[in-house]
Structure formats: structure tokens, C-alpha cells
Structure 1
Amino acid sequence: MQALRNPTTRLYASYAFDWIFCVIILILFFLLDRAEPFHRQFSVENTAIMFPMKAKDTIPVWALVLIAVVFPVLMIAVVAVGVRRSIYDFHNGILGLLLSILLTTIFTQVMKVTVGKDRPDFLDRCQPMQNGAPILHDVPLQLWSVDVCSQTNKAILKDGMRSFPSGHASTAFAGLFFLSLWMGGKMHVFDRRGYSLKSVILIVPILAALLVAISRIEDYRHSAIDVTWGSIIGIFFAIFAYLQYYPSLFSKASHIPHPPRDFSYLTRNSDGRSNEPGCLENATGIRPNHEFVDETRPYLHDQAQEQPLQQ
């Protein structure tokens, strides 16, 4: 118990909990993936669900992982470790990225299971049959249940009832939009100096996420509304996760992460001074309190040198 009163120990334990929390979310995702989605009744004359089922996705899951997870991790590693030489920045960048992706995927998975919307290729997956003959027309005022499906591959049928929202779209935007925010902070995209190259660099990950979302419509896996809401969900959690670990892009210190959590109160004397001065700063190289000026000084100094235009 005495060890937990050490601010540095509490700091590491606090971040360790964040990583454990990410692992828990990942486990919950795989558990939900095995859950049976809500079974909607359907019409065999519904033109929205009678598209052909493609044998292969344009962007399979393994490719999505490379695009939305591995690529952002590599970019963050190159900039944070190779350029800025900051392990703390790398840690926060990766943790924020994982939080964005995992919150997005668990939220998307819950909606997929509870909504149970049929994919555009659902009828081709289902192959509805009655009395040994295909059902081609609806009886007036009657809807069919999945009990009439002759599909023997239960995984294909179950996946056909998980159209809303698009998991590819939400995951792509969760990873790549977070990367755009992270890069934008490093480049001070809103410093009012107007470099067009910054916009070009930031739009590349967003465009890649958009192409992933469009591919799901082209494959008849999702409708436009599915990928639209999936994209919105991914963008929302990317912004949420980014602001947990980094300041706003409008901040003059947008290139550095938030300072470490301050547990120095555990060792403060009655006069408010810590018995272990600098312990958190030594652990991470960054001050954990309001005096955190660190790398912002050169930037603020440059800004102060700028004189307003003469009228």
C-alpha cells in the first residue's frame, strides 16, 4: 500500500489501467461478434435487399486493419519517436488511437446486433424457400422471417443481418480521422499562417477512409445511410479520444500531449510542497501541473515577435 502512495507508481498504474481497459473492450467486441442479431421480418419484393452477394470484399478485414490501425501506428511512431524523440508523445498517440478505434468498434457492434438491419444482398444470402420452391412473391399483407431461409451457412446468414451501421466505415474514420487530428496538431494547422500543404497532408487519411466507406456501397454490403452513420460514429469517437490526450487544434501547444496526471498531492507536506520534487517530470520528461510550458516556449516566443500590420 505504501508503494501506491508514490506518485510515479500511481502514474504508471493509472496508464496501465487505460491499456487494460482497451483489452477489455477488445474482448467484449469479439464476444458481441458471436451474438445473434435481431431478426427482422422482410419482404422478398424489397428491392433494397435483392442485390447479388459478392464472393469477396474489395477491402477485406485484414486490409482494413492495415489501413486504419497499422498505418496510423507507423505514422505516429515515425513522427513521435523518429522526429520529436518523445516516448511520452508516442505512448499518448497510440493510446488515443486505440481508444478511438475500440470505442468505435464496440459501439458499432452493439448497434449492429440490436438493430439487425438486413444488408443489400440479404435475399441472395437467405435464399428463401417454401415447400421446396423459391419464394418469389409476397402473400398480401405478409412478411417473412428467417425461418424460410434455406442458407446452410449460418455465419453468412447472420452476417447478412448486420448492415447498420457500417463497421468498415466507422473503423476507417476512427483510425484515419484520429491520425489527421494528430498530424494537424503537430503541424499547427490552425496557426493562421495558411500553408496549403498542411491541408493536402491532412486530407489524405480522410480521403482513404472515405474510399473504404464507398467500397462497402459498391460491394452491396451496405446502403448509403449505413456508411454515413458509420462515418459519423468514427469521427465522433476520433475527436473524443484525441481530446482525452491532446489539446485542441486551435491551441498554441497543439503539438504536445496533455501533461501527465498529477499524483504529487500524495506526498505533499502541510505547506503544499512535495516531498519528491520532480518525480513525475523525471518519469515522463513532462511536467504534470499548470506550470507546464515545456516545448511551448519557443513557439509562443515566435508568436510574440510577430507585429501587427501597420494601417
Structure 2
Amino acid sequence: MGFATKDVVIVTLRYLLDWVLVIGFIAAASVLGNMDGARRPFNPYDPAFSFPYHGDTVSVTLLVILVVAVPAIIILLCCFLAPRSALPALVGNRNAPASYVWKHKLLNWNRAWLGLGLTLALGYFVSNCLKNVFGKPRPHMISVCQPDWNKVAAIVKSTRTGPQGVLAWNPLVTSEICTTTDHDRLSEAFRSYPSGHATMAFAGLTYLSLFFYSTLVLTLSKTSIVKLPYSIQDTRKRNDDSNEKSRDGASKLHPPSLPLLSFVVVISFFCLAMWIGASRYLDFKHAGIDIFSGSVLGFLSAICGTWWYAMPAAGGVAKGRMRAGYRQDYSTGRRVPLPEHDEPRGPIGAGERIVLMDTNNDRNSMEGAPTVEK
């Protein structure tokens, strides 16, 4: 078995193991979602639990379509329709054969879907764990519970405070006072915190936004560009010529800002996620803090999935199983590191700054040039 074939087999087995773990997380989360968790005592006279029962504006089926199917399809199209410049693993391989290009497109697609799967699995698993642990009643608890008010009155009379025996109008009762026969709906009524819809919406759509943005950056860095002679200097070194580390880039291409339309597209994904979260508040399914916490949880899940699989790092090197920054040596079949000056290059690294160069090769610092500190 050649080196290249062995490398492909190892990477394939690693990806298969990753898929098994992601599917396992989703299966475990589904089991947790069907379990009876904790049931926090509540006050039957609390107006916060007295809202009427309302159907779902965003059903579970519609949620799956919006946060799973739609991102998966968009990612698929981006991976296969994007130009070669959008694939960091093809850096320096301008003459690579079509089979090599398609192999890396497949790897990029697989890695992007794995990131989406990890994002959704993580958000789904953690949200169901928290729902079972907290057991917080939903705002429509009284409508679902249909309490036996005779039992409630008995509890109120037996609960007295103060030396005069004043009746307590804030008694805490449990689900034992409920008369409903729909036990599944009653169990679901104690799963308010955090909002699962908000978690999944912000997880899937935030991941899609980050992936779409990174794809645009890599694509437009080659298709919409201006020539600027510059070098990138390491500001963490001393400012003398003997110790300053710089990378000349007079022949490189400096990408401009992204088109405003791309910003509108990215923001539309966030607006869709916010609408899904807002619908849960309007349907009396969650309190505001439940939706906010679910949104934060989903956002953090998307950050984890993006960082682990899909985020290109500075210098054109991507995190994940198959790293960019290598090119294929067709004579040996091995992947060899790229020279540091090869294009395209990602954002400036930590402690670096852009320095313009004039036609006489004199280097003058660019006033107001961006510097990234650690």
C-alpha cells in the first residue's frame, strides 16, 4: 500500500469515527428528550404560568427543515460550486488535475457537514440535559396541568405564615395536583429551560453564517482584488533590521472588503434564527430568559463546530483532519509543506502589521495599519 493510499484510508477511518460519534450524540440526545426529567414545584396562582396553551408557529418539522436541511443544502452547493480558490487545501496547486480538485471538494464538503452535525448534536444534547435537570414549568403550565383546585385549596389552608395564621397565597405545589390524562404533554410542560428551538436555530444558522462568510472570503480574495505592494512584519520582534521578521508581498493580492450583499445574506440567517426564538415567546412556550439562554447555547455550539472543522486559520491553514498548507507532490504521491510565500494567504497573524512599500523598495509604515496583538 502506497503512502498516499494509506493516508486516504486513515483519513477515511477517522472521518467515519467522527460520524459515528456525532450520530451517537444525536441518539443520546433523543433518548434524553423522551425521558421524564425533574419537575420543579410551582405556584398555581402565579400569572407567569397562567398563559393559554397555543400551538407551535414553528413546528418541529419546520424547525428541522430550516436549521438542518437548508444549511446542509447551502453548504453542499457552496462546496461544489465554489471556485478552486475557496479550497485552502489547493494552495499552490494551480495545475492540479480535476480528480485531485474533486477529491478535495469532497473532503471540504464532508468536513463542513461534520461541523454542522457536531454543532447541532452538541446543542441538542446539552439543551436536553439542561431541560431534564432544571425541570422548569412553561408559561402555559396551568392550561396543560388542569389542576384540581380542591387539592390546591387544601394546600393553601394548610400553609399558614405569621403568628395570626395568615393564609399564604404563594403556595408551592407539584404535578400531583394535575388532572390531565395527557402525560406526554404534562412532561413536556416541565421542559421550559432552555429553549430547544432557540438552541437549534442559533446553532444551525450561526454555523451556516460563519461557513458562508469564510467561503466568501476565500472566493473573493481571488475574484475581486486590488494590487498593493506590501510586506507583513512581525511586531513582536525588535524593530531593528537584524531581528525583524517580514514577509515581502509585492506581487501578492490584497482583498478588499466583502460586498454589502454578502452582509445582507449573513444577517438574514441571524434574523431567521431570531424569528424562530421570538415565535416561542409568542406561543407562550418559554420565558424570555429561556430563549436568551438557548440562543447563547446555540451560538456557542456553532463556534465549537466551526472551530473544530470548518474555520480557516491565518496563513491559509485550516483546522480539521485534512489540513491546508500542503501540496501534492505528484512524483512521490506525498503531501509536502508549502513555502511560506505561496498564495493565497489568510488574515494577518497575531502581532503582525501591514507595511506598504514604495517603488524604490523603501519600507514606510502604513499610518493606521491594522495590528493584531495577542
Structure 2 Cα separation of the partners of residues 12 and 98 of structure 1: 17
Change (3 A) 1:26 1:135: farther
Offset at residue 93 of structure 1 (A): 0.9
Give the CA deviation at 1:23: 1.2
Per-residue CA deviations over 1:100-126 (Å, capped at 9, x if unaligned) read 001000000000001000000011100
Aligned equivalent of 2:75: 76
CA distance in 2, matches of 1:261, 1:185: 16
Kept after mapping to 2: 8 A contact 1:117/1:161: yes
Aligned AA (2:129): V
Amino acid aligned to 2:137 = D
TM superposition shift of 1:290: 4.9
SS at match of 2:70: helix
Query: Where do residues 34-45 of structure 1 align in structure 2 (5 Å cutoff)?
Result: 34-45=34-45
Q: Provide closer, same or farther for how the CA distance between residues 12 and 41 of structure 1 changes in structure 2, counting only shifts above 3 A.
A: same
Q: Secondary structure at the match of 1:19?
A: helix
Please give the per-residue CA displacement for 1:16-58, whole angstroms capped at 9, x wherever unaligned: 100000111111012112211201111111111110001x200
Deviation at 1:245, TM superposition (A): 1.4
Name the SS for the 2:284 alignment partner. Answer: coil
Q: 1:126 aligned to 2:141?
A: no
Deviates more, 1:232-241 or 1:5-14: 5-14
CA distance in 2, matches of 1:290, 1:32: 45
Give the corresponding residue for 2:86.
none
- Pick the aligned partner of 1:110 from 99, 113, 129: 129
Q: Which residue does 2:264 correspond to in 1?
A: 200
Which whole-Å deviations, capped at 9, do the CAs of 1:223-269 have from their partners, x for residues lacking one? 11001000000000101110111335x74638x6656169xxxxxxx
User: How far, CA to CA, are the matches of 1:22 and 1:229 in structure 2?
Assistant: 23
* CA–CA distance in structure 1, aligned partners of residues 137 and 264 of structure 2: 37
2:285 equivalent in structure 1: 221
The CA deviation at 1:10 is 1.7
Match of residue 142 from structure 1: 171
Aligned to 2:92: none
Distance 1:83 1:107 in 2: 34
Correspondence 1:246-261 to 2 at 5 A: 246-247=310-311, 251=314, 253=316, 258=320, 260=322
Q: Give the conservation status (yes or no) of the 8 Å contact 1:92–1:257.
A: no
- 1:163-202 counterparts in 2 under 5 A? 163-188=192-217, 193=257, 195-202=259-266
1:125, 1:157 within 8 Å by CA — same for their partners in 2? yes
- Shifted more, 29-38 versus 106-115: the winner is 29-38
Amino acid aligned to 1:278: G
Structure with higher strand content: 2
Give the letter for the 1:93 counterpart: A
**Paired residues, number:** 279
Aligned counterpart for 1:278 among listed residues 333, 337, 354: 333
* Structure 1 spans left out of the alignment, 5+ residues: 263-275, 280-286
Runs of 4+ with deviation above 4 angstroms: 133-139, 189-192, 256-259, 306-311
The structure richer in helix per residue is 1
The CA deviation string for residues 180-236 of structure 1, in whole angstroms up to 9 with x for no partner, is 000110112996625322211210111100100000000000011001000000000
Q: Distance in 1 between matches of 2:268 and 2:217?
A: 17
Distance of 1:111 and 1:243 partners within structure 2? 24
| 2:294 counterpart letter in structure 1 | G
Query: CA distance change for structure 1 residues 307 and 257 in 2, over 3 Å: closer, same or farther?
Result: farther
Instruction: Select which of 294, 297, 301 maps to 2:343.
Output: 297
Query: 1:310 and 1:101, CA in 2 relative to 1: closer, same or farther beyond 3 A?
Result: closer
| 8 Å contact kept, 2:138–2:192 | yes
Shift of 1:81: 1.2
SS for the counterpart of 1:297 is: coil
Report if aligned partners of 1:44, 1:137 keep a CA contact under 8 Å in 2.
Answer: no
Structure number with greater Rg is: 2
Please, which runs of 5 or more residues in structure 2 have no aligned partner?
A: 84-101, 158-167, 222-254, 325-330, 347-353, 359-364, 368-374
Matching residue of 1:15: 15
User: What letter corresponds to residue 57 of structure 2 in structure 1?
Assistant: T
Question: What TM-score, normalized to structure 1?
Answer: 0.79
Output the amino acid matched with 1:235: F
SS of the residue 2:343 aligns to: helix
**Residue identity in the other structure for 1:57:** D
2-structure distance, mates of 1:157, 1:259: 44
Q: 8 Å contact 1:100–1:238 — kept in the other structure?
A: yes
